[in-house]
Structure formats: C-alpha cells, structure tokens
Chain A
Amino acid sequence: MTPSEFQLETPSDDVIVHRRVFAAPPASVFDALTKPHLLRRWYGPPGWTCTACTMDLRVGGSWRIVTRKPDGQEIIQSGEFLEVAAPLRFVKTERWADWDVGEIVVTTELVDQNGVTLLIVTTRFPSKDVRDRLLASGAAQHARDHYAKLATLLSGDELDRLEKQVK
C-alpha cells in the first residue's frame, strides 16, 4: 500500500476492515489516535468538528467522542477499552447514541514498516444481520451497479451530452 491509499473490505459476515498507511512512525500515529488533544484536531472529515473527546486509555477505561456534522447534527460515540498495548494495538467497544445497532468491537493495529505505519482497523458487528442492515439491504449492490451513473449525473458534461442526445 502507498501512503494515503485507503482500502476497505468485508472479509466475513460480521466484519469491516479498513487499512491506511501514514508517513509517520507508529508511536506518533498511536498518540494521534488516543490522545484527546490530538484526536480533536483530525477526527471527522473536512467540515466536521470534534467538539469533545475523553479517553481513559487503560483496560476497562471509558472513551467518548462528540462530533458535529456540517448540518449541525451531533454524533456521540462511546465505549470502553478492552485491550491497550501502546503503541501497536488497542481494542475498544463502541456504541453510537441514537442508533440501535448494539455494541461493536473495534480492533486497531499499527504495523511499523520502516518508519511508516500501516494502520489496520477491524470493526466487528454483533451479527451479520446488524452489519447487513447497515449495508442497507442490497443498497450496496445497487450502488455498485449504478455508481458510475450517479457520479456523472449532475456534472455539466452529462448535461451537455444528454441535451444533444435528446434534441
């Protein structure tokens, strides 16, 4: 994998795994993932803000993250740490307020690759049913089939082409 490449896969019925390479050693990445003052600076895509973060980084300790979406909606995530092995691994439970998917277990592993870090995040859902519900019952397949269409749907090129076509 090259830095900034993002890999996402669903290797079994109840699991989602994503991988990402960072151009920094594992200790730096681990700190950014587990220290609230650092995590608040990057957690959430552009336009989102992380408004609160607490992390009691030890087995049995609690964590809680509050993010605000661009539309103002707040998302509250919380859970407990099940394993902590700095700087290469931690495992936590995770719940999302207002979303009844139950408790998921997230395993975060960091692999040192000559000074850069391969991050592997494995999210295990309570059941296949819960994961599939998230994947919106067939919506993923639909989206794969039609995604190219959607991507160009609102582009100016498509408009020009179709205007010519229907004339």
Chain B
Amino acid sequence: MTPAEQLDATFGALADGTRRAILARLAQGEASVTELAEPFGMTRAAVSKHLMVLERAGLVSTARDAQRRPRSLHAAPLNDATTWLNQYRAFWEGSYARLDALLEDQKGAPRPRRKRARKVAR
C-alpha cells in the first residue's frame, strides 16, 4: 500500500462507529472475538467482519495463541495519519516549553551561578 492508500484504509476503517468502539475496547487491552462481541450485543460473525476491515487497515493484529486468537490494537497507522506537520508542531511546541523553563531558570534569583551569572541581567 502507498502512504495515501494506507491513509484511505485507516480513515475508511475509522468512519464506522462500531469499529471505533472496537478499537477503543482494544486500547484497554487485547480481546478475543467472543470478548469483543459480548458488550456490543453483536454476533461473532459481525464482529469478525469489522475486525477484517480493521486488520486490512493495519489497525488491529491477531496473536498466534491458537485457542483464543486475541486481537490487539496496532496504533502505527494512526500515528502516520497525524502527518509530518503535526509531528513538526509537536517537536517545536514540546521543545519551546522546555526553553520557557530554561529562560525562566536563567532569570531566577540574583545569587551567583557557576558561570555567566551576569550575562542574564539586562
């Protein structure tokens, strides 16, 4: 899948309320088809159909435990979906929050510092 197709698959899978609820359930820990079907009052077949869409979108994976075959959330496509620009924003917003703290720290009490103590004064 190209990145664009991957995004289409991700968002297609997210467009359905039941599938979002399944993902929200899996975000709290892995679950089998039976465990997923129960709280939603759905048949196992209906849940399996939704799981197929979610697996094709790369959002859910199936463990090899032969008996239970628990499904778990795979969040990487969601991260991709937030785009480079959002990562760029997160990088700088996070960095600048730390820079705020550094500048505040440097402004701090007029007690002598190890070095460059006078440089802070304006």
Contact = CB atoms under 8 A, between A and B. Distances in A.
Contact of A6 (B89, B104, B122): B89
B56 interface: no
A48 B91 CA distance: 10
A86 interface: no
Given A45-B91, A166-B42, A139 B83 contact: yes
Contacts of A27: 122
B81 interface: yes
B81 A167 contact: no
Contacts of B17: 162, 165-166
B93 A146 contact: no
A4 interface: yes
A135 B23 contact: no
Contacts of A42: 95-96, 98-99, 101-102
Nearest to A28: B103
A45 B18 contact: no
A18 interface: yes
Nearest to A4: B100
A143 B20 contact: no
Interface string A27-48: 1110110000010011111101
The 3 closest A-B CB pairs, nearest first, are A45-B94, A162-B21, A159-B24
Interface of B: 3-4, 7, 11, 14, 17-18, 20-21, 23-25, 27-28, 39-42, 78, 80-86, 88-104, 106-107, 119-120, 122
